[in-house]
C-alpha cells in the first residue's frame, strides 16, 4: 500500500464517527469496501449497544449558568445540592460527598462511581480539556452500563476545564443539574475479513475504528485500521499456514464493546485462535513504538530480538493495554497490542486535535512493514510458538482492568 492510498483513507474517514451512529456505520461499510478492493472477502457483524439522545442539560452554580453536556445513560431529572470539589477520593475525602454534587478531577470508573453512590453523593460533575487550550470544547460523556452495573443512576454533567477551575476559584456553594434524555437500544458493527490458511486455525488481527464525540479519530484509531489494511495487502497473495482474520472493531471507545462482542459471539472458535495482534495508534511523526504483551514473557523477548534483527526500535513489556487485545486475553487467547505513543505535545487523542495532520504516511508504512514481518512469522510458523497460557501477573492486571479487583493505589 503506497503513501497516496494511506493519505486517501485518512482523508475519506476524517469525520466524527461515534458508536452506534450512522457515521460509524458509514465507516464500517467503507472499511468493508476497502477490503474488497484488495480482493478480500469481508462482512459486517452487528451487536447491540445502549444509546442515548440527550435532549437538554444545564448546570447552574449559585444561579449562574455554566455550559455543560449531560452524560448519556445517566437518566433524566433535576438535582440541586451543595458543591464539593474532591481532588482525592480516599475514604476520608469520600465522607464529604454525602448529599453533595461532587466535582471530580478524574474520569468516572466503576469503583469510583460505586464509592460515590455508597458515600451518598447527589450528582457528579466532571471536566475535560485544558485551561491552556484556546477552545472551550466539552466532551459528550456517558455513564457506561459496565460502570453503573445495574446500580442507581446519578445525574452527571461534563464541563470545560476553564469553568471547572472557575468554580473552585469562586468557591461556588450550590449547583443545580438538569438532564433530559431518551435512552434506547442501538446497534454497532464489527467488520471482519479473512485470508484463509492451510489449517483451520486463525490468527486474529484487530483495530478499532470508532471515535469519541469530539474527535475525528485519525490517530486513534484510523491509523491502526490502515495498518491492518497494509498487512492485508502485503499478505493476501500467498496462503499461509495459519489463516488471518482481520476484525475492525466498533465501539471500542465505550469500553471495548466490539471486541467483547466478538469473543462472546465466536467463543466456540477461540480454541482455534492461537494469537491476537491488535493495533491501536501508529504512524505519528514523533514518538516511540511499544508492545504490550498479554502473554508469556518469552514473547516480549522475541519482539525485542525481531526489532533488533530488522533495525526497528521497539519497547515491549508484559501487561494489559487499554484496547481490543484485552477481551481476547481475558478469554485465554494470548494477545498483544502495538502502538506508537506520540512524543510530548506532538499528537493527542479524544479531542479536536486528532486529525490526519499528526500522522506521517511514511511512518505508517514503516510501522506496518514491521507489523507485517511479525505477523508473517507467526502465520508461517510450523506451530505458533506462543504458549497458550496467560501468566498470573497478566491475569491480575486483567482483573483490575475489568473491574473484578480494585487496583492498589500508587
Asked whether residue 267 is assigned to any structural domain, the reply reads yes
Distance CA 205, CA 249 (A): 10
Give the pLDDT confidence score for residue 262 in this predicted structure.
Answer: 98
Distance CA 352, CA 185 (A): 28
* Least confident range of 240-244, 314-318, 341-345: 341-345
* 363-388 pLDDT tens trace: 999 999 999 999 999 999 999 999 99
* 167-200 pLDDT tens trace: 999 999 999 999 999 999 999 999 999 999 999 9
Verify that 198 and 285 share a domain, yes or no: yes
Asked whether residue 406 is assigned to any structural domain, the reply reads no
Collapse the DSSP code of 270 into the 3-class scheme (helix H, G, I; strand E, B; otherwise coil) and give the result.
helix
Asked whether residue 410 is assigned to any structural domain, the reply reads no
Give the pLDDT confidence score for residue 410 in this predicted structure.
Answer: 46
Verify that 110 and 159 share a domain, yes or no: yes
- What is the band of 398 on the pLDDT scale with cuts at 50, 70, 90? very high
Q: Which residue is it, cell 511479525?
A: 374
Mean of pLDDT over the chain:
97
Verify that 177 and 200 share a domain, yes or no: no
Contacts 24+ apart (CB under 8 A), 104-113: 108/141, 108/143, 108/147, 108/156, 109/147, 109/403, 110/146, 110/147, 110/149, 110/403, 111/403, 111/406, 113/143, 113/147, 113/148, 113/151, 113/154
Last residue of a domain, one of 160, 183, 206: 183
Total domains, the chain: 2
Paired residues of 178 in beta bridges:
58, 78
Asked whether residue 215 is assigned to any structural domain, the reply reads yes
Q: What are the grid coordinates assigned to 313, written together?
A: 526500535
CATH number for 397? 3.40.630.10
**Structural domain span for residue 97:** 56-183
- What is the CA 52 to chain-centroid distance, rounded? 19
Question: Cβ(46)–Cβ(202) under 8 Å?
Answer: no
Verify that 126 and 88 share a domain, yes or no: yes
Verify that 8 and 109 share a domain, yes or no: no
Asked whether residue 409 is assigned to any structural domain, the reply reads no
Verify that 43 and 94 share a domain, yes or no: no
With vertex at residue 159, the alpha carbon angle to CA 409 and CA 161, rounded to the nearest 5 degrees, is 65
Q: What are the grid coordinates assigned to 67, written together?
A: 455550559
For 266, residues 6+ apart whose C-beta sits below 8 A from its C-beta are none
* 99-150 pLDDT tens trace: 999 999 999 999 999 999 999 999 999 999 999 999 999 999 999 999 999 9
Distance CA 107, CA 213 (A): 16
Q: What are the grid coordinates assigned to 385, written together?
A: 510458538
DSSP code, position 18? B
Does the bond joining 221 to the residue before it have cis omega, within 30 degrees of 0?
yes
Give the pLDDT confidence score for residue 407 in this predicted structure.
Answer: 86
Verify that 369 and 224 share a domain, yes or no: yes
Q: Which of 294, 182, 278, 174 is nearest to 225 (CA)?
A: 278
Last residue of a domain, one of 140, 165, 183: 183
Distance CA 115, CA 326 (A): 25
358, pLDDT greater than 90: yes
CATH number for 92? 3.50.30.30
Prediction pTM value:
0.95
Mean pLDDT of 85-99: 97
Give the pLDDT confidence score for residue 15 in this predicted structure.
Answer: 98
Last residue of a domain, one of 166, 183, 200: 183
Distance CA 348, CA 237 (A): 36
Asked whether residue 370 is assigned to any structural domain, the reply reads yes
Asked whether residue 408 is assigned to any structural domain, the reply reads no
C-alpha distances in angstroms, 323 versus 87, 193, 256, 264?
Answer: 27, 20, 7, 16
Asked whether residue 258 is assigned to any structural domain, the reply reads yes
Distance CA 46, CA 258 (A): 9
Give the pLDDT confidence score for residue 126 in this predicted structure.
Answer: 98
Q: Which of 337, 299, 303 is nearest to 320 (CA)?
A: 337
Verify that 245 and 157 share a domain, yes or no: no
HSE (CB half, 13 Å, CA atoms) of 114? 11
Verify that 83 and 179 share a domain, yes or no: yes
Question: Cβ(367)–Cβ(288) under 8 Å?
Answer: no
Give residue 39's region: left, alpha or beta (phi > 0; psi -120 to 50): left
- What is the band of 409 on the pLDDT scale with cuts at 50, 70, 90? low
Verify that 104 and 24 share a domain, yes or no: no
CA end-to-end span of the chain: 44
Mean pLDDT of 58-78: 98
Verify that 139 and 238 share a domain, yes or no: no
Mean pLDDT of 284-292: 98
Distance CA 195, CA 175 (A): 57
- What is the band of 408 on the pLDDT scale with cuts at 50, 70, 90? confident
* 317-357 pLDDT tens trace: 999 999 999 999 999 999 999 999 999 999 999 999 999 99
Question: Cβ(369)–Cβ(232) under 8 Å?
Answer: no
Verify that 255 and 150 share a domain, yes or no: no
C-alpha distances in angstroms, 23 versus 13, 26, 210, 316?
Answer: 10, 5, 9, 35
Give the pLDDT confidence score for residue 1 in this predicted structure.
Answer: 92
Quote the percentage of the chain above a pLDDT of 70: 100
Give the pLDDT confidence score for residue 292 in this predicted structure.
Answer: 98
Amino acid at each position: 500500500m503506497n503513501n497516496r492510498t494511506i493519505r486517501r483513507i485518512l482523508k475519506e474517514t476524517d469525520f466524527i464517527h461515534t458508536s452506534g451512529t450512522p457515521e460509524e456505520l458509514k465507516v464500517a461499510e467503507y472499511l468493508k469496501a476497502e477490503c474488497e478492493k484488495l480482493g478480500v472477502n469481508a462482512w459486517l457483524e452487528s451487536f447491540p449497544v445502549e444509546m442515548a439522545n440527550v435532549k437538554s442539560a444545564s448546570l447552574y452554580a449559585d444561579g449562574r449558568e455554566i455550559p455543560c453536556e449531560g452524560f448519556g445513560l445517566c437518566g433524566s431529572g433535576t438535582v440541586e445540592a451543595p458543591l464539593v470539589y474532591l481532588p482525592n477520593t480516599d475514604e476520608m475525602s469520600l465522607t464529604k460527598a454525602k448529599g453533595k454534587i461532587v466535582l471530580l478531577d478524574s474520569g468516572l470508573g466503576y469503583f469510583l462511581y460505586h464509592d460515590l453512590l455508597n458515600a451518598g453523593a447527589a450528582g457528579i460533575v466532571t471536566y475535560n480539556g485544558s485551561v491552556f487550550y484556546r477552545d472551550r470544547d466539552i466532551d459528550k460523556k456517558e455513564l457506561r452500563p459496565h460502570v453503573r452495573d445495574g446500580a442507581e443512576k446519578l445525574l452527571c454533567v461534563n464541563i470545560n476545564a476553564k469553568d471547572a477551575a472557575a468554580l473552585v476559584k469562586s468557591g461556588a456553594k450550590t449547583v443545580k443539574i438538569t438532564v433530559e434524555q431518551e435512552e434506547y437500544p442501538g446497534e454497532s458493527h464489527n467488520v471482519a475479513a479473512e485470508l484463509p490458511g492451510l489449517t483451520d486455525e486463525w490468527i486474529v488481527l484487530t483495530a478499532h475504528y470508532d471515535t469519541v464525540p469530539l474527535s475525528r479519530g485519525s490517530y486513534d484509531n484510523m491509523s491502526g485500521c490502515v495498518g491492518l489494511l497494509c498487512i492485508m495487502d502485503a499478505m493476501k497473495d500467498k496462503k499461509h499456514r495459519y489463516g488471518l482474520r482481520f476484525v475492525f472493531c466498533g465501539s471500542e471507545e465505550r469500553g471495548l464493546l466490539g471486541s467483547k462482542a466478538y469473543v462472546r459471539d465466536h467463543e466456540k472458535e477461540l480454541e482455534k485462535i492461537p494469537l491476537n495482534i491488535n493495533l491501536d495508534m501508529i504512524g505519528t511523526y514523533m514518538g516511540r513504538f511499544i508492545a504490550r504483551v498479554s502473554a508469556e514473557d518469552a514473547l516480549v523477548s522475541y519482539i525485542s530480538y525481531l526489532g533488533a534483527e530488522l533495525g526497528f526500535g521497539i519497547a515491549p513489556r508484559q501487561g494489559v493495554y487499554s484496547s481490543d487485545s484485552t477481551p481476547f486475553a481475558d478469554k485465554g487467547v494470548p494477545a498483544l497490542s502495538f502502538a506508537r505513543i506520540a512524543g510530548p505535545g506532538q499528537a493527542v487523542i479524544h479531542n479536536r486535535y486528532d486529525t490526519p495532520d499528526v500522522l506521517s504516511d511514511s511512518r505508517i508504512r514503516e510501522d506496518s512493514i514491521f507489523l507485517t514481518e511479525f505477523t508473517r512469522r507467526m502465520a508461517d510458523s510450523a506451530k505458533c510458538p506462543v504458549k497458550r497460557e496467560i501468566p498470573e501477573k497478566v491475569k491480575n492486571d486483567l482483573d483490575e482492568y475489568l473491574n473484578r479487583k480494585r487496583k492498589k493505589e500508587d
